[in-house]
Amino acid sequence: MTRRPTLADVARRAGVSTATASKVLNRRTGFSAETAAAVEAAMSELGYLPITRERTPRATGSIVAVFDTLYTLYSLRVIEGIAEGAQVAGVELVTQVSDPGHVGAPTLSLDERRVRSMADRGHAGVIMVTSRIPADLVELLRAYGLPLVSIDASAALQADVPDVSSTHWRGGQQAAAHLLERGHRRLAFVGAEPANPGIRERLAGFRDVLAEAGAPLDDRFVVTGLHADATALSALLRRDDRPTAVFAATDAAAVGTIAVARGLGLRVPDDLSVVGYDDTYAPVVPGLDLTTVHAPLEALGRTAVETVLALAAGRPAPRGDLHLSTRLIVRGTTAAAPTG
């Protein structure tokens, strides 16, 4: 049986990206008349049949949630919210993993074949969680009539893709204000991937409050990316002028910081105060009394479901991203700054 030509075939024949071919197919902007002519000629030569589906308002039966991994407490909390939202809406939930990072786990390739399969199965839309979403994939999903919503995107998105996240910047402010109130003036930030928009916003909010208070964050006390490991943390906490408090961009980073500090003989919180972000660990790890910025992870999942189903029903996308409020939860890993 002859294989039906795909949009990727058209793009190759026309010498453009799949994203550009999709834009031409969907009569969007961002391409020249010459490019449009080349894509249309390629469609004709290959006998390509447009597969754009008009998503008119109708009952929808299922949605797809794509995670980069399910082996984190963050993912478990978010998927709980997505499942609750799907149950309330009366739709089925299909979960898939794009980059499992787990030996033996299958890797999902979101190519045109997979996207077409999603559309053919009648899925209402796609939710992608903490994943990088390339422009080609956005256009592919659009070409097949599948609305897309992101949760905590790990890289910048196209302006018309809704992203549901917590108020990262405000969370960084809340952590800084709490530590300043307890007298800390030498503070550090321990993060993860510095290119992640949420991590950058948490750091920016943290910096802003410290600067306003006259205690600007020393760049030498910012440990991110590949440097946010035990060796770098140990070097930071061994300094004669070591920080008396750390804001960690995630609860996992906070737990790692506490472990390194204790290994050096530092007492938490007497010698070092630590604040995390997300509020994932303390509720489920016995004995971990972590002060943290609570992110409404279940609510992120529920909101993403509501948003993708609204798009599938033909209602317009929300203007801008959707930010859900954070709040600081004070527990046992922060105290007054040590004297002397």
Predicted pLDDT of residue 22: 74
Let me know whether 95 and 238 are in one domain. no
CATH of the domain at 285: 3.40.50.2300
On whether both 182 and 260 belong to a single domain, the answer is: yes
Q: Residue 246 belongs to what domain range?
A: 168-295
**Sign of the C-alpha dihedral computed for residues 128, 148, 51 and 54 taken in this order:** positive
> In terms of domains, do 246 and 212 share one?
yes
Same domain, 140 and 182: no
- Give me the tens of pLDDT residue by residue for the chain, a chain 340 residues long: 356 677 778 888 888 877 777 777 776 666 777 887 888 888 777 777 665 444 444 346 899 999 988 888 899 999 999 999 999 999 999 998 876 554 444 445 677 788 888 888 889 999 999 888 888 888 888 888 889 999 998 777 777 788 999 999 999 999 999 999 999 999 999 987 777 889 999 999 999 999 999 999 999 999 987 556 888 899 999 999 999 999 999 998 999 999 999 999 999 999 999 999 999 987 767 778 999 999 999 999 999 999 999 998 888 766 668 899 999 999 999 999 998 6
Token pair 């920080």 in the structure block, residue: 243
Count the domains in the chain. 3
Q: Helices marked H in the chain — which ranges?
A: 7-14, 18-25, 33-46, 73-89, 112-120, 135-143, 168-181, 197-212, 230-238, 251-263, 297-312
Instruction: Write down the pTM of the prediction.
Output: 0.81
- Cα(35)–Cα(16) distance, integer angstroms: 8
pLDDT score at 59: 43
